[in-house]
């Protein structure tokens, strides 16, 4: 029996789709951060504190939880020494990024990030704005503990995330925030069917072709 290759490929593709597991999005760990916005006061602020969980319950990264009010021993928030600029997060792997949790600056509400463009990249050089990502972060009371804003969007493949800070809530010389934690999964490669499954799919494809040939033969009579 001759079977069209296209039918076999279709059947195999269907099988791969069945056997590829769908992972749920979860906390991305090991994120590092850099910025071109400087540090307003290194004795009080630490950029690393925005990704390492310091200030969250147990000083542990999480997508939920109340972030503590500002402390400088150790610093649990960060402020740069300029109002606008770029903050870049290295996810240290490639993920299907599905969202993030964000805690704005909670020591002086005018310093918090307001206008923002959220972008992703796979090489850390070429960035693209993420459709559905927020363009504004809400201000917080000061100084008080705070819950996160949580954002989700259609997953994008990302190794880096960049916040282009377009404005703050009025401070002319400093902008900052308390914490960000990202939500995503490692891309799952398609799983190759077992040999017996592959044979079944090929026979299934052959059956489709035979049925179609029989139908065509009958229609010509």
Q: Encoding tokens for residue 204?
A: 């299934």
The pLDDT, as a whole number, for residue 189 is 76
Residue 24 banded pLDDT, cuts 50, 70, 90:
confident
What 186-191 contacts at long range (C-beta under 8 Å, 24+ apart), as own/partner pairs, is: 186/23, 186/93, 186/94, 186/95, 186/96, 187/94, 187/95, 187/96, 187/157, 188/20, 188/21, 188/22, 188/23, 189/20, 190/16, 190/17, 190/19, 190/20, 191/16, 191/19, 191/20, 191/21
The arithmetic mean of pLDDT across residues 123-129, rounded, is: 98
pTM, full prediction: 0.78
Say if residues 89 and 100 touch (Cβ distance below 8 Å). Answer: no
Rounded CA-CA distance 185/208 in Å is: 37
How many structural domains does the chain have?
1
What mean pLDDT is reported for the chain? 85
Rounded CA-CA distance 21/48 in Å is: 34
Residue 13 is assigned to a structural domain of this protein: no
Tell whether the model's pLDDT for residue 181 goes beyond 70.
Answer: yes
β-strands 149-165, 32-35: how paired? Answer: unpaired
CATH number at residue 82: 2.60.120.260
Residue 3 is assigned to a structural domain of this protein: no
Residue 12 is assigned to a structural domain of this protein: no
Residue 138 is assigned to a structural domain of this protein: yes
Residue 49 is assigned to a structural domain of this protein: yes
Residue 193 is assigned to a structural domain of this protein: no
- Greatest mean pLDDT among 154-168, 178-192, 195-209 lies in 154-168
CA distances 219 to 205, 212, 216, Å, are 21, 11, 5
55: left (phi over 0), alpha (psi -120 to 50) or beta: left
Residue 194 is assigned to a structural domain of this protein: no
Residue 18 banded pLDDT, cuts 50, 70, 90:
very low
β-strands 128-129, 175-185: how paired? Answer: unpaired
The pLDDT, as a whole number, for residue 164 is 98
The pLDDT, as a whole number, for residue 141 is 81
Query: Lowest-confidence range among 70-74, 79-83, 130-134?
Result: 70-74
Residue 156 banded pLDDT, cuts 50, 70, 90:
very high
Say if residues 101 and 64 touch (Cβ distance below 8 Å). Answer: yes
Say if residues 214 and 220 touch (Cβ distance below 8 Å). Answer: no
Secondary structure of residue 160 in the 3-state scheme:
strand
The pLDDT, as a whole number, for residue 194 is 56
Residue 210 banded pLDDT, cuts 50, 70, 90:
very low
Residue 168 is assigned to a structural domain of this protein: yes
The arithmetic mean of pLDDT across residues 188-201, rounded, is: 58
The arithmetic mean of pLDDT across residues 25-29, rounded, is: 94
Range of the domain at 78: 26-185
């Amino acid at each position: 029996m001759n079977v069209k290759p296209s039918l076999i490929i279709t059947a195999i593709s269907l099988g791969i789709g069945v056997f590829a597991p769908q992972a749920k999005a979860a906390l991305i760990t090991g994120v590092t951060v850099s910025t071109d916005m400087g540090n307003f006061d290194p004795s009080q602020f630490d950029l690393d504190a925005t990704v390492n969980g310091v200030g969250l319950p147990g000083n542990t990264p999480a997508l939920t939880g109340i972030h503590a009010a500002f402390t400088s021993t150790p610093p649990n928030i960060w402020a740069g020494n300029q109002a606008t600029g770029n903050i870049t997060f290295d996810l240290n792997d490639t993920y299907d990024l599905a969202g993030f949790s964000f805690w704005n600056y909670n020591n002086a509400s005018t310093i918090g990030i307001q206008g923002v463009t959220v972008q992703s990249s796979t090489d850390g050089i070429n960035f693209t704005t993420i459709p559905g990502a927020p363009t504004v972060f809400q201000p917080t009371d000061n100084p008080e503990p705070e819950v996160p804003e949580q954002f989700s969007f259609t997953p994008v493949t990302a190794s880096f995330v960049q916040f282009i800070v377009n404005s703050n809530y009025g401070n002319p010389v400093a902008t900052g925030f308390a914490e960000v934690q990202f939500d995503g999964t490692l891309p799952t490669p398609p799983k190759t069917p077992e040999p017996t499954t592959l044979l079944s799919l090929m026979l299934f494809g052959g059956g489709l072709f035979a049925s179609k040939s029989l139908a065509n033969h009958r229609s010509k009579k």
